Amino acid sequence: MAQSSRTGIMLIGAPGSGKGTQAKKLKESLGYAHVSTGDLLRAAVKQGTELGKQAKSFMDAGGLVPDELVIGLLEEALTKPETQQGFILDGFPRTAVQAEALDAKVSLDKVIYMKVPFELIEERITGRRMSKSGHVYHVKYNPPETEGVCDVTGEELYQRSDDTPEKVQERLDKFVAETQPVVPRYQAKGIVVEVDGVGTPDEVFVRINAVL
């Protein structure tokens, strides 16, 4: 993959900081591709691919999938034609090794660092419910019209296996130990903007647009 002039935006932040929600909104407003390694991994698990089989146990435990697996997945995603105008990275990189691999392939224009106090995160994550097609609700903040059913597709909603209270702490620990240390690398390039991730998705989106 060569360096190109396409626009690259990265959303980085703890699990439950709103990266996925904001990435979808940015995709809609900017027309760039949304590249979420979490979504790609969940799709691989669902399809029962070799990668999905290898990734599943790490995901279920609230841990990180090994770098070589995720880097391969990301590199493949960035060759897709829909990413050629621009891409929004959500959930990658999560380690220094991933950041190095990414920087060797593409350049980023902005890193949006979503800040949400950890006290709020557990409630956000454990109340999250999804449809198989990827629509996301929250039992308290964004409930579907009919309980347990997706407004858009009518699919039954489910809770991600790693969104349980037991897994949240593990995921936050991983964020602090592995992902947060990646931020200074991008701060040194002068491309990091911190955004307060507390509030409704629309409120946070206004803040993001103000810094883009």
Binding site for ligand AMP (CB under 6 A): 15, 37-38, 41, 58-59, 63-65, 70, 91-92, 94, 98, 162, 171
In angstroms, give the least distance from the CB of 118 to ligand AMP. Answer: 15
Query: Is 132 a catalytic site residue?
Result: no
Write down the residue that tokens 């897994």 correspond to. Answer: 167
Question: Nearer to ligand AMP by C-beta: 5 or 60?
Answer: 60
CA distances (Å), origin 51, targets 17, 48, 71, 134: 26, 8, 12, 20
Query: Is 24 a catalytic site residue?
Result: no
Question: Nearer to ligand AMP by C-beta: 22 or 98?
Answer: 98
Cβ(169)–Cβ(54) under 8 Å? no
Query: Which residue among the candidates 6, 110, 160, 185 is catalytic per the annotation?
Result: 160
Cβ(149)–Cβ(129) under 8 Å? no
In angstroms, give the least distance from the CB of 37 to ligand AMP. Answer: 3
In angstroms, give the least distance from the CB of 29 to ligand AMP. Answer: 21
Q: Cα(145)–Cα(151) distance, rounded to whole angstroms?
A: 6
Cβ(1)–Cβ(75) under 8 Å? yes
Question: Nearer to ligand AMP by C-beta: 60 or 147?
Answer: 60
Query: Which residue among the candidates 129, 171, 174, 207 is catalytic per the annotation?
Result: 171
Write down the residue that tokens 């002039």 correspond to. Answer: 5
Query: Is 185 a catalytic site residue?
Result: no
CA distances (Å), origin 116, targets 13, 125, 128, 204: 8, 12, 16, 11
Give the closest residue to 5 by CA, choosing from 98, 90, 117, 86. 86
Question: Nearer to ligand AMP by C-beta: 124 or 207?
Answer: 124
Q: Which residue, judged by CB position, is nearest to ligand AMP in the bound state?
A: 38
Query: Which residue among the candidates 24, 94, 129, 207 is catalytic per the annotation?
Result: 94
In angstroms, give the least distance from the CB of 155 to ligand AMP. Answer: 18
Query: Is 207 a catalytic site residue?
Result: no
Beta-carbon contacts of residue 180 (< 8 Å; ≥ 6 apart) = none
Query: Is 94 a catalytic site residue?
Result: yes
In angstroms, give the least distance from the CB of 211 to ligand AMP. Answer: 22
Catalytic residue IDs: 19, 94, 128, 160, 171
